[in-house]
A and B are shown apart, each in its own frame.
Chain A
């Protein structure tokens, strides 16, 4: 339950060891490079001031590596499109490949060759796209030729000594008669113009016009006035010949496309190598980025950054044993805001993701994960509260975690979180007697004649909802008081005794007093259905506590204000927060509501399933309804329990003491995408 303590490590070493040291640091992944501060102190150390150390310009190399990684990624995308990798439904859980050091070195050696393959794949893909475009163009041409097929001369202007022939189109519905009419009207001098209709469609008439050379212009103009247009494309040969040629081209094009696809398919055997090479380039790009930030003199370089205290010793001894270097480890300065890594016990570490999604602890804050984790699992189980559902969730998560050891750490944490939540649900289900709702009652009554009920270990919420409501609110009060208690602890730890007294103790007095006053009242009696009678002195004490707390809050909340009126006003306003506490506590009634929702809807499903009579059809119907209904109910209630458990932690619990806003630790490491290299055993 803690935030790992960070230290600053500064390493000054010889340039000849630069590559080895940087690569080792990168593969260890325990150092967050932060030169900015370190650089200043290096410059201030004297020898030549800022002029002595320079930064190397590595932007070029970095960009080169990034381009290579991008090319490899692109090649993998292409491969995925042509030859999709067979993936199981659980592919997302499988995690990255794991390769040996030897294979990694081999790939590193052949990286240029692999990159060439990758580029070739990308090139083939471009060619493929061009071929496809060409095929479309050919197809369009063939279609464009179709109406001209019965024309037995080339589709273009042609001429003899005295006549010309030109093809064209006119709007749909034009007839030969109407064309001759137009010519007669608009070009009365043209004699002997001959029009041949080639074909006609709904919207277009295709025709060839033959006439004397000297009349050609007049005839064309006349026809134009009626909508004549030349064809968009002209051809050297007759349409039939042209088509044959185009079809030939289309075939060749298709063959070439297939050929390219085949080539890509053959290259797909390099997929794994390309993946590893892509990671190689990615990792190198990161290295050069860091390298560009390092201050370097003629012979030495300096690297500095944050390192968890527990790792600092190893790194120091490892470095100073092998290289001539100066390693300096120091505690952080007061005003530094270090990055955060959470460290928790094996159970609670699975809830770190929940805390991260709210925000990591700010400097000086407590890591709330451990305390939260118990409440988290407790509340989750209470909201789902069905033994069968809990068992299913736990078993599924356990099997997945076991079956896919290489899944990403975040995924593993989530699954383990749900595993524990499933166990908790199982326990609550047994306490409340819920197994798929009331499946045992329904099945035994319907199919075996006698109703059997599995007795609840504690009580059945549906029969006594008020009792569970009271318990829900009680758990809520415990949760909230824990939160307030942590705030008190933090105040004491930081030595703010005044804050501890005013903001925590006074509130505890007020709240405890109010609760003690509420318990013997008639309102509570009607809710809990039992009258609690306190001895007289306790009632008096409750009154005194509440009054003292309230007065204290009114007087002390605005203690940093000098103006007494303002101070009292602020105090009164703070006292108004009592309504906030009320709504916080009532918010825990969702523990009851969501638990009921699971149980009742499961019963609805069971009831629906058992509507048909007890025969083979009835049994099949029951099984179908059972499977579909409970899958849906489990899914939606799992979602509900998750969301509302988070809410109770984030809003009600964290609201009392926790702000978050810390910066996650982002070490200089091998940020791979596809494959991790197996860690060599540290010599």
Chain B
């Protein structure tokens, strides 16, 4: 019995970790960037708190998408249910690969969306009535995280364990 052939479950778990970890980091950085801009606006005009908070939250969704894929993966390989499934090396690597899109796209799009959100907060600071438009720019970035989520989700869902 080779230790390498037992590693299937490890790869699978690594996949879940990659999804949650990178997407979560992306969101954390993004929300952080936007939060700095939001704090600046609120020091000047506390009444804009609710609006800038909403925009600050926009880059937070990548983390949730990562969590979603991670959760699906965990329940797929049985770690959540209690009975750990017997995962072959191939299946484990397949799951790892399936988790990569949301992990990597989540990281990068989270950061970009954070920067866009910070700029959008600038719009709200100067022209609060343009809130609707300001909210749209960060949402454009998120499209690609959604596409990655879809592929990751469909792939994990489709792999037979």
* Given A465-B153, A465-B154, A644-B139, A586-B147 contact (CB < 8 Å): yes
Write out the residue numbers on chain B whose beta carbons fall within 8 Å of the beta carbon of A607: 80
Bound together, the chains give a CA A237 to CA B36 distance in angstroms of 55
Bound together, the chains give a CA A597 to CA B153 distance in angstroms of 10
Say whether A636 faces chain B, with CB atoms less than 8 Å apart. yes
Q: Determine whether the beta carbon of B67 is less than 8 Å from that of A604.
A: yes
Residues in A469-521 with C-beta less than 8 Å from chain B: 469
CB distance from A523 to the nearest CB of B (A): 14
A448-486 to B contact mask, C-beta < 8 Å, 1/0: 000000000000000001100100000000000000000
Say whether A357 faces chain B, with CB atoms less than 8 Å apart. yes
Q: Determine whether the beta carbon of B135 is less than 8 Å from that of A646.
A: yes
Say whether B84 faces chain A, with CB atoms less than 8 Å apart. no
* Given A357-B133, A639-B54, A643-B58, A596-B68 contact (CB < 8 Å): yes
Q: Determine whether the beta carbon of A593 is less than 8 Å from that of B146.
A: yes
Write out the residue numbers on chain A whose beta carbons fall within 8 Å of the beta carbon of B133: 357-358
Say whether B60 faces chain A, with CB atoms less than 8 Å apart. yes
Residues in A167-215 with C-beta less than 8 Å from chain B: none
B105-136 to A contact mask, C-beta < 8 Å, 1/0: 00000000000000000000000001111011
11 contacts between A and B (CB under 8 A): A469-B150, A589-B147, A589-B150, A594-B146, A596-B68, A600-B71, A604-B71, A639-B57, A639-B58, A646-B136, A646-B139
A631-665 to B contact mask, C-beta < 8 Å, 1/0: 00000100110011011001100000000000000
Say whether A135 faces chain B, with CB atoms less than 8 Å apart. no
* Given A358-B132, A600-B68, A647-B147 contact (CB < 8 Å): no
Bound together, the chains give a CA A643 to CA B136 distance in angstroms of 7
Q: Determine whether the beta carbon of B146 is less than 8 Å from that of A465.
A: no
Q: Determine whether the beta carbon of B68 is less than 8 Å from that of A597.
A: yes
Q: Determine whether the beta carbon of B136 is less than 8 Å from that of A600.
A: no
Say whether B65 faces chain A, with CB atoms less than 8 Å apart. yes
Write out the residue numbers on chain B whose beta carbons fall within 8 Å of the beta carbon of A590: 143, 146
Say whether B140 faces chain A, with CB atoms less than 8 Å apart. yes
Query: Which 6 residue pairs of A and B lie closest in terms of their CB atoms, listed nearest first?
Result: A357-B132, A643-B139, A593-B146, A600-B68, A590-B146, A647-B139
Say whether B64 faces chain A, with CB atoms less than 8 Å apart. yes
CB distance from B114 to the nearest CB of A (A): 15
Bound together, the chains give a CA A358 to CA B133 distance in angstroms of 7
Bound together, the chains give a CA A127 to CA B138 distance in angstroms of 49
Bound together, the chains give a CA A650 to CA B65 distance in angstroms of 24
Q: Determine whether the beta carbon of A357 is less than 8 Å from that of B58.
A: no
Bound together, the chains give a CA A586 to CA B143 distance in angstroms of 10
Residues in A353-374 with C-beta less than 8 Å from chain B: 354, 357-358
Q: Determine whether the beta carbon of A592 is less than 8 Å from that of B80.
A: no
Kindly report which residue of chain B lies nearest to residue A607, judged by CB atoms.
Answer: B80
Known: A589-B146, A592-B150, A651-B136. 19 other contacts (CB 8 A): A357-B133, A466-B154, A589-B150, A590-B146, A593-B146, A597-B68, A601-B67, A601-B68, A601-B71, A639-B54, A643-B58, A643-B135, A643-B136, A643-B139, A644-B139, A646-B132, A646-B139, A647-B139, A651-B140
CB distance from B152 to the nearest CB of A (A): 10
A587-631 to B contact mask, C-beta < 8 Å, 1/0: 101101110110011011001000000000000000000000000
Bound together, the chains give a CA A466 to CA B150 distance in angstroms of 10
Bound together, the chains give a CA A636 to CA B27 distance in angstroms of 13
Q: Determine whether the beta carbon of A597 is less than 8 Å from that of B136.
A: no
Interface of B is mostly: helix
CB distance from B22 to the nearest CB of A (A): 17
Q: Determine whether the beta carbon of A596 is less than 8 Å from that of B61.
A: no
Q: Determine whether the beta carbon of B140 is less than 8 Å from that of A647.
A: yes
Kindly report which residue of chain B lies nearest to residue A589, judged by CB atoms.
Answer: B150
- Report how many residues on chain B are interfacial, defined by Cβ distance under 8 Å: 29
Bound together, the chains give a CA A243 to CA B92 distance in angstroms of 83
Kindly report which residue of chain B lies nearest to residue A357, judged by CB atoms.
Answer: B132
Write out the residue numbers on chain A whose beta carbons fall within 8 Å of the beta carbon of B33: none
Residues in A328-371 with C-beta less than 8 Å from chain B: 354, 357-358
Q: Determine whether the beta carbon of B147 is less than 8 Å from that of A354.
A: no
Write out the residue numbers on chain A whose beta carbons fall within 8 Å of the beta carbon of B130: 357
Write out the residue numbers on chain B whose beta carbons fall within 8 Å of the beta carbon of A643: 58, 135-136, 139, 142
Say whether B157 faces chain A, with CB atoms less than 8 Å apart. yes
Kindly report which residue of chain B lies nearest to residue A633, judged by CB atoms.
Answer: B64
Write out the residue numbers on chain A whose beta carbons fall within 8 Å of the beta carbon of B135: 643, 646
Q: Determine whether the beta carbon of A596 is less than 8 Å from that of B153.
A: yes
Bound together, the chains give a CA A603 to CA B143 distance in angstroms of 24
Q: Determine whether the beta carbon of B61 is less than 8 Å from that of A640.
A: yes
Q: Determine whether the beta carbon of B132 is less than 8 Å from that of A636.
A: no
Kindly report which residue of chain B lies nearest to residue A353, judged by CB atoms.
Answer: B132
* Given A357-B132, A358-B132, A650-B136, A636-B57 contact (CB < 8 Å): yes
Kindly report which residue of chain A lies nearest to residue B60, judged by CB atoms.
Answer: A636
Q: Determine whether the beta carbon of A636 is less than 8 Å from that of B136.
A: no
CB distance from B149 to the nearest CB of A (A): 5
Kindly report which residue of chain A lies nearest to residue B145, judged by CB atoms.
Answer: A593
Write out the residue numbers on chain A whose beta carbons fall within 8 Å of the beta carbon of B94: none
Write out the residue numbers on chain A whose beta carbons fall within 8 Å of the beta carbon of B136: 643, 646-647, 650-651
Bound together, the chains give a CA A589 to CA B135 distance in angstroms of 20
Q: Determine whether the beta carbon of B57 is less than 8 Å from that of A600.
A: no
Kindly report which residue of chain A lies nearest to residue B143, judged by CB atoms.
Answer: A587
